């Protein structure tokens, strides 16, 4: 199944799909748009073997969401724009929400991508995003991440991290130096953002018959 918003980059925000349902699963689906493609709004969500394409903040929201074995493909935006793959929106430190991207592939949609491209930017003061065990292509700006407000570091209350990624874009030597960014995690720290712990997947995913990794 494919969710497409064909408005194009000139229309700016153009969501292809919004999900706010608890225990939602998307398996082998495609989400195709430009800005704000996939709105993972709230509750627990799981995406497996999906293709997600976009430009600015094209995976965003405040769900507790895990992406596994997905293809994440930035595309060329409007002139003078840059790409941000994620924009997580946690405002309350007591919420168990965030974006976890595990065992996915990050690659340019095609060779026309020349815009500066980042893994994401923190939308709110407790934004939480973890990229782990994924393959990241050479298209990525070495800084990895970018601030929401230009030249203003995000608050130390965010949690942004990478763990055991591979590929030419995975080198963290030149990453941002934010107080809330962690270029690496321990195995126990990373384990908090897996299917079993972060979205309690072992309790409900077996009923869906969708494959998953704990």
* Alpha carbon distance 56, 66 (integer Å): 20
Q: Note the maximum CA span of the chain.
A: 47
Q: Where are the alpha helices (DSSP H) in the chain?
A: 187-191, 195-198, 201-204
Catalytic residue list contains 213: no
DSSP string, 153-204: PPPTT-EEEEES-BSTT---TT----TTEES---HHHHHTTSHHHHS-HHHH
Give 45's strand partners.
24, 65
Distance CA 214, CA 210 (A): 12
Work out whether the CA dihedral 2, 61, 9, 145 comes out positive or negative. negative
**Would you put residue 32 in left (φ > 0), alpha (ψ -120 to 50) or beta?**
beta
Q: Dihedral of the CA atoms 86, 89, 94, 95 (nearest 10)? A: -70
Check 57, 92, 173, 188 and give the catalytic one. Answer: 57
SS3 58: strand
Query: Any idea which residues carry the catalytic annotation?
Result: 57
């Amino acid at each position: 199944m494919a969710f497409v918003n064909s408005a194009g980059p000139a229309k700016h925000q153009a969501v292809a799909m919004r999900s706010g349902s608890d225990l939602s699963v998307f398996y082998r689906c495609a989400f195709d748009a430009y800005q704000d493609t996939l709105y993972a709004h709230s509750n627990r969500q799981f995406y497996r073997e999906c293709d997600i394409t976009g430009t600015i903040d094209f995976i965003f929201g405040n769900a507790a969401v895990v992406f596994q074995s997905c293809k994440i493909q930035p595309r060329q935006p409007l002139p003078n724009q840059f790409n941000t793959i994620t924009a997580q929106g946690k405002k309350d430190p007591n919420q168990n929400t965030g974006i976890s991207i595990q065992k996915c592939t990050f690659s340019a949609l095609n060779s026309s991508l020349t815009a500066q491209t980042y893994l994401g930017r923190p939308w709110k003061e407790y934004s939480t995003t973890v990229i782990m065990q994924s393959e990241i292509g050479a298209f990525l700006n070495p800084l990895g991440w970018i601030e929401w407000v230009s030249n203003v570091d995000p608050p130390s209350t965010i949690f942004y991290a990478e763990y055991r990624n591979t590929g030419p874009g995975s080198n963290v030597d030149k990453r941002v130096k934010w107080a809330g960014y962690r270029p690496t995690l321990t195995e126990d720290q990373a384990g908090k953002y897996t299917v079993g712990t972060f979205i309690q997947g072992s309790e409900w995913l077996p009923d869906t018959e969708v494959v998953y990794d704990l």
